[in-house]
């Protein structure tokens, strides 16, 4: 029997929560135990000590570096001998109560508001997933272009307790503004006196881009000679029009509303970056919506960082030597000044669009490729690998190995080489990495996100010579220990491990074989490189634990990481599968010699 959208969403919501819980709160105990009388199956059991209970989850497919997949859940209370079936959201509620119970009674009471907030957001995420599934069922079959991939993240990121929470976006707004609903909309334009507009660019002029967008739509409104077009996301425009300072600009004649104008845009997977296939620019806005962990705001230092990094790459020439690796730059920004405020809410980042119509086929983020499929369907990655197997007359495991090696060529090696050569590390998580897989195998890797650059203090002198403006931008420079921690999470744990676990779940390859291939590649890099990249590769191989972002703890404490110093996230340590695999191999070799 095919499960309903609600049943699929409920199971997915529990699954993402449990995976976070196992990594951050309690790893549980593994074994073969019954979830119904007399039928032992692979399970994970979790003690709910604060409730004198225990939860047992059927383990359908395990992963040593990514998410587990679960089946039935059963609960036992007190001294009962009977395990009773429990609905997924009831199991989630029991785990949530236990997580807060482990803080101790006094702190749990103080965090009661945060607990209810998290429960509400988990339910909001569940409802979003169900709506996404229903929207997908009523839509045409997905295409293989850029926008289709951006719209395909039905379940969101697996390592998050509320992966599809959109707090602040009403259900009636989501068909237009949530990417999974496949809607489109026109931007809301304002005309602002040039005296209150601030902008900068690296070979791109923001007011010129905005004026061209305004003119690209039907019945384009006219601008006065001293006015500049200011595009806004419609949701942000609604919020701005409730701001007394913005209304004061209108009353003073410095700002006027033009309304919807320009071409139609659609939300990408980040929700606040929008795309139009006929336009050479994507636009990234602030949004009055709490997406997963944070209200998304373009900060002034982020605007400056995008331009500074565009100039750095233009001047250094490093990208010209790496044709298989490209950085989608954010080389222009614009905003309006409001007295006494660092950000007015009008901040917009203009991002290059290499995926205009005609160049948008066969490209997808790692997040889209590795996303869990709906029941009865294949993941995008499995579809690709099996196509490669058929085209090359290979067994699926052989095709998976070939695909993985090609992926490492363009998505793993260049970012580490960049860090080694220039001292620049990237927030290369699975949603920021777009692969060209139009030939089946990955051929080009595109990196995006002006918020995701980490500059090494050890390279400051050489970086100052190439991009001196970067020295004065907060949140760009870090010591290498902190960079290795963040870079290791984003590149290895979030991105590469997601590919390995997806291939494992899909039955394409053994995780251990792919971990060995990854280990060999990191070892080769450690021997070839000489700077920060070498240290990073060695650290990834030799450290018994590896850093993982603690999204559940972040939510338990109701932390908005974008409001913390240097946007510092909460991190946890997980066993390093690369280290574990190497240790197992050494033990096996020793055993073979002894025999």
Candidates 394, 364, 395, 370; CA nearest to 382 is: 370
pLDDT of residue 589: 59
Which domains, ranges and CATH numbers included, belong to the chain? 5-134 (3.30.310), 184-352 (no CATH), 363-594 (1.10.510.40)
Average model confidence (pLDDT) for the chain?
A: 94
pLDDT confidence of 570, banded at 50, 70, 90? confident
The CA–CA distances, whole Å, from 290 to 139, 155, 270, 271 equal 27, 17, 12, 11
Minimum mean pLDDT among 116-125, 299-308, 567-576: which range? 567-576
Token representation of residue 313: 């790459």
Section 445-466 average pLDDT: 95
pLDDT digits (tens, 9 = 90+) for 115-140: 999 999 999 999 999 999 999 888 76
Asked if residue 591 has pLDDT above 60, the reply is no
Q: Give yes or no for a contact between 333 and 307, defined as CB atoms under 8 angstroms apart.
A: yes
Asked if residue 267 has pLDDT above 60, the reply is yes
pLDDT of residue 593: 33
Q: Give yes or no for a contact between 278 and 356, defined as CB atoms under 8 angstroms apart.
A: yes
Q: What's the distance, CA 319 to chain centroid?
A: 24
> Pairing state of beta strands 185-193 and 255-267?
antiparallel
pLDDT of residue 567: 52
pLDDT digits (tens, 9 = 90+) for 22-59: 999 999 999 999 988 878 999 999 999 999 999 999 99
pLDDT confidence of 538, banded at 50, 70, 90? very high
Return the residue matching tokens 């839509």: 139
pLDDT digits (tens, 9 = 90+) for 131-189: 999 998 887 666 789 999 999 999 998 889 999 999 999 999 999 999 999 999 999 99
pLDDT digits (tens, 9 = 90+) for 59-99: 999 999 999 999 999 999 988 889 999 999 999 999 999 99
pLDDT of residue 595: 28
pLDDT confidence of 563, banded at 50, 70, 90? low
Candidates 432, 448, 460, 475; CA nearest to 302 is: 475
pLDDT of residue 355: 98
Q: What percent of the chain has pLDDT over 90?
A: 88
pLDDT confidence of 1, banded at 50, 70, 90? confident
Q: Give yes or no for a contact between 129 and 79, defined as CB atoms under 8 angstroms apart.
A: no
pLDDT digits (tens, 9 = 90+) for 356-391: 999 999 999 999 999 999 999 999 999 999 999 999
DSSP state of 364: E
């Amino acid at each position: 029997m095919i499960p309903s959208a609600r049943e699929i969403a409920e199971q997915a919501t529990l699954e993402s929560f449990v995976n976070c819980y196992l990594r951050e709160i309690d790893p549980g105990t593994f074994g073969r135990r019954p979830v119904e009388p007399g039928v032992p199956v692979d399970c994970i059991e979790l003690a709910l000590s604060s409730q004198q209970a225990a939860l047992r989850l059927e383990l359908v497919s395990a992963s040593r570096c990514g998410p587990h997949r679960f089946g039935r859940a059963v609960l036992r209370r007190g001294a009962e001998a009977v395990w009773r079936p429990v609905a997924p959201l009831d199991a989630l509620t029991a785990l949530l109560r236990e997580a807060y119970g482990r803080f101790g009674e006094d702190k749990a009471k103080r965090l009661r508001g945060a607990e209810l907030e998290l429960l509400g957001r988990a339910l909001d995420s569940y409802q979003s997933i169900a709506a996404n599934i229903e929207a997908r069922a009523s839509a045409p079959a997905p295409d293989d272009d850029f926008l289709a991939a951006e719209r395909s993240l039905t379940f969101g990121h697996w390592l998050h307790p509320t992966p599809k929470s959109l707090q602040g976006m009403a259900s009636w707004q989501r068909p237009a503004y949530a990417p999974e609903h496949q809607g489109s909309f026109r931007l809301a334009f304002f005309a602002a006196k040039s005296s209150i507009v601030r902008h900068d660019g690296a070979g791109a002029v923001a007011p010129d881009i905005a004026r061209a967008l305004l003119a690209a739509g039907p019945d384009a409104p006219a601008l006065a000679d001293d006015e500049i077009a200011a595009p806004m996301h419609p949701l942000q425009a609604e919020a701005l029009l409730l701001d007394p300072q913005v209304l004061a600009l209108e009353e003073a004649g410095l700002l006027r509303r033009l309304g919807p104008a320009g071409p139609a845009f659609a939300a990408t997977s980040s929700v606040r970056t929008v795309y139009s296939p006929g336009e050479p620019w994507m636009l990234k806005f602030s949004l009055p919506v709490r997406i997963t962990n944070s209200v998304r705001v373009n900060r002034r230092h982020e605007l400056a960082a995008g331009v500074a990094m565009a100039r750095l790459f233009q001047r250094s020439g490093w990208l010209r030597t790496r044709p298989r690796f490209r950085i989608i730059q954010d080389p222009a920004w614009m905003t309006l000044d409001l007295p006494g405020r660092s950000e007015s809410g009008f901040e917009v980042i203009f991002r290059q669009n290499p995926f205009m119509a005609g160049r948008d086929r066969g490209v997808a983020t790692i997040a889209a490729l590795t996303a869990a499929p709906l029941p009865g369907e294949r993941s995008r990655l499995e579809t690709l690998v099996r196509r490669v197997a058929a085209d090359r007359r290979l067994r699926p495991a052989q095709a998976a190995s070939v695909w993985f090696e090609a992926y490492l060529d363009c998505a793993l090696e260049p970012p580490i080489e960049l860090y080694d050569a220039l001292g620049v590390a990237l927030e290369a998580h699975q949603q920021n990495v777009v692969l060209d897989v139009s030939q089946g195998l990955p051929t080009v890797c595109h990196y995006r996100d002006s918020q995701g650059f980490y500059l090494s203090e050890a390279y400051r002198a050489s970086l100052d010579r190439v991009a001196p403006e970067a020295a004065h931008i907060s949140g760009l420079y870090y010591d290498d220990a902190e960079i290795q921690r963040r870079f290791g999470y984003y590149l290895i744990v979030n991105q590469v491990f997601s590919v390995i676990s997806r291939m494992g779940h899909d039955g394409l390859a053994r995780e251990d074989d792919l971990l060995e291939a990854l280990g060999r590649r990191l070892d080769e890099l450690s021997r070839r490189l000489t700077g920060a990249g070498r240290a990073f590769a060695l650290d990834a191989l030799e450290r018994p634990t590896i850093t993982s972002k603690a999204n559940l703890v972040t939510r338990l404490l109701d932390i908005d990481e974008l409001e913390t110093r240097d946007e510092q996230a909460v991190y946890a340590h997980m066993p390093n599968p690369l280290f574990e695999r190497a240790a197992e191999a050494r033990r096996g070799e020793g055993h073979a010699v002894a025999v």
